[in-house]
Structure 1
Amino acid sequence: MLKRVQLACISIMIGPLLQHPAQAADVVLYSSNDVETVAKVVEQFEKQNPAIKVSVVRAGTGALMQRIKAEAANPLGDIFWSGGISTISAFQDQFQPYNSPEESAVPAQYRSKQGLWLGTNTHVSVLMANLRQAPGGQAPKGWNDLADPKWKGKIVIPDPQFSSASYVALYGLSKLVSPGVYAQIIRNAVIVGTTSAAYQGVANGEFAIAVTMEYAAYQYVAGQLDSVKLVYPAEGTFLSPEGMALIRGGKHPSEARKLFDFLASKPVQTEIFKSAFRRPLRIDIDVSKMSALPALDNIKVIALDASQMEAARAEFLSQWRQIVASK
Structure 2
Amino acid sequence: MAGAVLGPASAGTVVLYSSNNVETVNGVVDQFTKENPDIKVSVVRAGTGALMQRIKAEAANPLGDIFWSGGLSTIGEFRDQLAPYVSAQASAVPSAYRGPDGLWLGTNTHVTVLMTNVRQAPAAQPPRTWTELADPKWKGKVVIPDPERSSASFVALYGLRSLLGQEVLDGIARNAVIVGTTSAAYESVAKGEFAVAVTMEYAAYEYVAGGLKDIRIVYPAEGTFLSPEGMALIKGGKNPAEARKLYEFLASKSVQTKVFQSAYRRPLREDIDVSSLSDLPALSSIKVVRLDDARMGSERAAFIAQWRRTISAR
Report the TM-score when normalising by structure 1: 0.94
Query: Match of 2:165?
Result: 178
Letter matched to residue 75 of structure 2: I
Query: Match of 1:148?
Result: 135
Structure 1 CA distance for aligned equivalents of residues 219 and 151 of structure 2: 19
The DSSP-based 3-state class of the residue aligned with 2:3 is strand
Is the alpha carbon distance of 1:22 and 1:252 closer, same or farther for their aligned partners in structure 2, counting shifts above 3 Å? closer
Q: Where does the alignment leave 5 or more consecutive residues of structure 2 unmatched?
A: none
Query: Match of 2:122?
Result: 135
Q: Percent identity at matched positions?
A: 68
Structure 2 CA distance for aligned equivalents of residues 257 and 233 of structure 1: 39
Query: Match of 1:114?
Result: 101
Tell me if the contact between 2:82 and 2:235 (Cα under 8 Å) persists in the aligned partners: yes
Query: Match of 1:12?
Result: 2
Structure 2 CA distance for aligned equivalents of residues 77 and 219 of structure 1: 32
The DSSP-based 3-state class of the residue aligned with 1:173 is helix
The DSSP-based 3-state class of the residue aligned with 1:12 is coil
Tell me if the contact between 2:63 and 2:237 (Cα under 8 Å) persists in the aligned partners: yes
Structure 1 CA distance for aligned equivalents of residues 63 and 77 of structure 2: 20
What per-residue deviation string (whole Å, max 9, x for no partner) do you get for residues 38-90 of structure 1? 00000000011111000000000000011001000000000000000000001
Letter matched to residue 300 of structure 2: R
2:297 pairs with 1:310: yes
Deviation, 1:178, is 3.0
Structure 1 CA distance for aligned equivalents of residues 210 and 65 of structure 2: 36
Letter matched to residue 177 of structure 1: L
Tell me if the contact between 2:9 and 2:238 (Cα under 8 Å) persists in the aligned partners: no
Deviation, 1:187, is 1.2
Structure 2 CA distance for aligned equivalents of residues 299 and 143 of structure 1: 15
Query: Match of 1:45?
Result: 32
Count of residues paired in the alignment: 314
Query: Match of 1:3?
Result: none
Find the partner of 2:185 among 188, 193, 198.
198
Deviation, 1:25, is 1.5
What per-residue deviation string (whole Å, max 9, x for no partner) do you get for residues 182-237 of structure 1? 10101110111100000001000111000000000000000010000000000000
The DSSP-based 3-state class of the residue aligned with 1:88 is helix
Structure 2 CA distance for aligned equivalents of residues 103 and 60 of structure 1: 25
Letter matched to residue 237 of structure 1: T
Which stretch of the first structure deviates more once superposed, 152-161 or 175-184?
175-184
What per-residue deviation string (whole Å, max 9, x for no partner) do you get for residues 278-317 of structure 1? 0000000000000000000000000101111111111111
Structure 2 CA distance for aligned equivalents of residues 21 and 95 of structure 1: 20
Deviation, 1:13, is 1.4
What per-residue deviation string (whole Å, max 9, x for no partner) do you get for residues 250-298 of structure 1? 0000000000000010000000000000000000000000000000000
Letter matched to residue 277 of structure 1: Y
* Consecutive aligned runs of 4 or more in structure 1 exceeding 3 Å deviation: 20-23
Query: Match of 2:195?
Result: 208
- RMSD value, Cα: 1.3
Query: Match of 2:206?
Result: 219
The DSSP-based 3-state class of the residue aligned with 2:62 is coil
Letter matched to residue 297 of structure 1: S
Find the partner of 1:94 among 81, 92, 105.
81
Query: Residues 19-58 of structure 1: matches in 2 within 5 Å?
Result: 22-58=9-45
Structure 2 CA distance for aligned equivalents of residues 193 and 127 of structure 1: 18
Find the partner of 1:271 among 250, 258, 271.
258
Deviation, 1:98, is 0.2
Deviation, 1:113, is 2.2
Q: Where does the alignment leave 5 or more consecutive residues of structure 1 unmatched?
A: 1-10
2:223 pairs with 1:233: no
Structure 1 CA distance for aligned equivalents of residues 56 and 312 of structure 2: 34
Report the TM-score when normalising by structure 2: 0.98
Deviation, 1:23, is 3.2
Structure 2 CA distance for aligned equivalents of residues 297 and 215 of structure 1: 17
Is the alpha carbon distance of 1:146 and 1:202 closer, same or farther for their aligned partners in structure 2, counting shifts above 3 Å? same
Deviation, 1:22, is 4.3
